[in-house]
Chains A and B, each alone.
Chain A
Amino acid sequence: MSKTIIDVQNISKIFKITKRKTGFKGALANIFHPEHEYKKAVNDISFNIKEGEMVGFIGPNGAGKSTTVKMLSGILYPDSGNINISGYIPHKQRKEYVANIGVVFGQKSQISWDLSPLDSYEVIKHIYKIPDKKYKENIERFTELLDMRKFINQPVRQLSLGQRMRADIAAALLHSPKIVFFDEPTIGIDVVGKEKIRSFIKTLNKTDNITMIFTTHDMQDIEKTCERLIIIDDGKKLYDGSLDAIKSNYVSSRIIEAEFEQLPEKIDIPYVTVSDVDKNRMKKVITFDTGKTSINSLMSTLLNNYSIKDISVKEPEIDAIISDIYQGKIIVH
């Protein structure tokens, strides 16, 4: 068992928001009688993360993901609760602490727009006091792994978003951090670019045993990289566990899609609902509950009694499950 590296206990963060009133009178009122409201961006969240783990943070916009990551990376003070990461209290020992972490902001570049990635890396080398040898090795390695040779000397403004993101990720890793936070690293990037980033992150997590925390909206990111998932909504932790466990424990309905050779008679199997997909009614969607109907018996019933051209069992769509969780249709704990 590896040891706990991130220990978060009951953290909360409250933001004071000035209510904006509209119109001239409202504008005056804003100046002289500002009304505030308090929003609990993060509400009593606790979790532990072990060394070398890769954890995905998901949640709808405004759920408190970014605020949590900002508290973990020492940018924000928690209003209450404790954070201990690798022996440091991030917001109190910021300077010593951040030497051990890397942060990738999907929406804020770490590298200068007008310079080449390599020029920006030179400055980063001085900021982190990276020894020459390690610096050269890391540059060499990341250029290779992230496929950056083509553009490492080009000004960043000429790069595609995917290339810029890869250059940014390398920037956050040059000092060989033990923990890396990725805040929406694949936002706005095309499929191929996303795939490159995911596979790099995965490789690095395995080979270097770097602990990684990953916030995203893209469930594919999580499915392809993280074994563990923390779902946050409305400042609270809704779920903490594996992705597979959500699928198997909380979603028992499965779908079979079948295309018939000839129009079937009424399909009547207990606990199973059937609906049409297309106009000619040859394709059907068959929904059933794994708790009540076994997939084996259902399949054999179908194949024995009907002539079927094509049949497939669909995995539950993770996006749909997550959206059910946000809407409270599935209660997890």
Chain B
Amino acid sequence: MKDIVSLFFAYAKSGIKTRFQYKLDSVVSSFAVFFREAAGIIAMYFALLKFDTINNWNINELMFLFSLIFITYGIFIVFFMALRDFSDWIKHGDIDRVMVRPRGILTQLVLCGADWLASLGHGTLGITLFILSANNVGVEWNAATILYYVISIASGVLIQGAVFLFFSAISIYFIETQSLKEIMYWNLRKFAGYPISIYNKFIQSLLIFVVPFAFVNYFPAQFLLRKPDMSTYPEWFMYISPFVGIILYIIAYFFWKFSMRYYKSTGN
């Protein structure tokens, strides 16, 4: 374990050094990520000045819901960048390089790919939203709620990791999976910022059963906030929520490992 941590820091050091080869671009890209994502939140804020609530969720509660998306994504891109861009790795034959090194393939991919600056952008936004909302949403922060919150964050990171692990496995067969990722991840992520109860049944099922963003933010937030729209879903969804990540990740891991057998290195 100690050894894995030291490898992680060695990668991190070289990754950050790489980014600082282009100092201006690095600083700008962090800000760009922050403002691009914040713009969506600001638009929502102004909309709510007119409507007051969305399905009984007020602005603070919505910010709390959003904060989970950004915080988990901020951590996600520290560990799962390489999986997010796995089809490029395959296209360029970079997997070969990983395979001739005496570490687990996934271990190397998870440790090496961090996009620290984008992470800073997303993370800062997530934490800002959390700080602005955490004390105004009626949650009593005690050991139990904090523990639930922390595990939910970890689970949310793993859910997204599992989704991309799954996409990566598919790109072993099909190489290019950009449109699949576009539809199944990026578009659904836009829906997931809001309480899923506002959508029709089809989108709700996608967000619960197919790409389970609902377990990244909606159900964990429901556990803490108990909004009335929770009554439409089985109550146990809130309780299993912290475990969804690890379970999905294990399933995706085995599928990925099985698929790697079919890896065909691109020829010279």
A interface residue numbers (CB < 8 A to B): 15, 62, 66-67, 70, 73-77, 94-96, 98-99, 101, 103, 105-108, 110, 112, 114-115, 119-120, 122-123, 125-129, 155, 183-184
Contacting pair B14 A112 (CB below 8 A):
yes
Q: Chain A residues with Cβ under 8 A from B263's Cβ?
A: 75-76
Q: Are B93 and A108 in contact (CB under 8 A)?
A: yes
Instruction: Report the minimum CB–CB distance from B92 to chain A (whole Å).
Output: 8
Question: Closest chain B residue to A172 by CB distance?
Answer: B100
- Contact status A184-B268, CB under 8 Å: yes
Residues of B within 8 A of A184 (CB): 268
Interface size on B, residues (CB 8 A): 29
* Beta-carbon contact of B21 and A127 below 8 Å: no
Is the CB–CB distance between A76 and B10 below 8 Å? no
Known: A115-B14, A123-B11, A184-B268. A74 touches B99 (CB 8 A): yes
Cβ contacts under 8 Å, A123 to chain B: 10-11, 14
Closest to A155 in B: B21
A155 to B100, CA, bound (A): 24
Cα distance, A239 to B11, chains bound together (Å): 44
Of the A-B pairs whose beta carbons lie under 8 Å apart in the complex, a sample of 16, sorted by A's number, is A15-B264, A62-B267, A66-B268, A70-B96, A73-B100, A76-B264, A95-B103, A98-B100, A99-B102, A106-B268, A115-B14, A119-B14, A125-B10, A128-B102, A155-B21, A184-B268
Beta-carbon nearest neighbor of A64 in chain B? B267
Report the minimum CB–CB distance from B88 to chain A (whole Å): 14
Do A119 and B268 touch (CB < 8 A)? no
CB distance from B106 to the nearest CB of A (A): 12
CB of B102 within 8 A of CB of A75, answer no
Which residues of B lie under 8 Å from residue A106 when comparing CB positions? 268
Interface residues of B (CB under 8 A from A): 3, 6-7, 10-11, 13-14, 17-18, 21-22, 92-94, 96-97, 99-104, 108, 261, 263-265, 267-268
Q: Which residue of B lies closest to A157 (CB)?
A: B21
Indicate which residue in B3, B10, B21, B265 contacts A114 across the interface (CB closer than 8 Å).
Answer: B21
Cβ–Cβ < 8 Å partners of B102 in chain A? 95-96, 98-99, 127-128
B5 to chain A, nearest CB (A): 10
Quick one: given A105-B96, A127-B102, A127-B108, are A115 and B18 in contact (CB under 8 Å)? yes
- Interchain CB contact under 8 A, B97 and A122: no
* Residue on B nearest A99 in the bound complex, by CB: B102
Is the pair B7, A126 in contact by a Cβ cutoff of 8 Å? yes
A119 touches B17 (CB 8 A): yes
A75 x B11 contact (CB < 8 A) = no
- Note all chain B residues with C-beta closer than 8 A to A155: 21
Extra contacts, 16 of them, besides A15-B264, A75-B99, A108-B97 (Cβ < 8 A), are A67-B267, A75-B96, A75-B100, A75-B265, A76-B264, A77-B261, A95-B104, A98-B100, A103-B100, A107-B268, A114-B18, A114-B22, A115-B18, A115-B21, A129-B3, A155-B21
Task: State in angstroms the CA–CA spacing of A230 and B263 once bound together.
Answer: 27
Q: How far is the CB of A65 from chain B (nearest CB, A)?
A: 9
CB-CB nearest 8 A-B residue pairs: A99-B102, A126-B10, A103-B100, A114-B18, A126-B7, A114-B21, A75-B99, A98-B102
- In the complex the two chains form, what is the Cα distance from A66 to B264 in whole Å? 12
**What's the Cα separation between A140 and B261 when bound, in Å?**
39
The chain A residue with its CB closest to the CB of B3 is: A129
A129 and B102 alpha carbons, distance in the complex (Å): 10
Closest-by-CB residue of A relative to B100 is A103
- The minimal Cβ–Cβ distance linking B253 to chain A, given in whole angstroms, is 16
Scoring A67, A106, A123 by chain B CB atoms within 10 A of each residue's CB, the highest score goes to: A123
- Interface residue from A66, A112, A126 paired with B267 (Cβ < 8 Å): A66
Q: Which residues of B contact A103 (CB under 8 A)?
A: 100
B100 lies within 8 A of A74 (CB):
yes
A128–B103 alpha-carbon span in the complex (Å): 8
Q: How far is the CA of A206 from the CA of B89 in the complex (A)?
A: 36
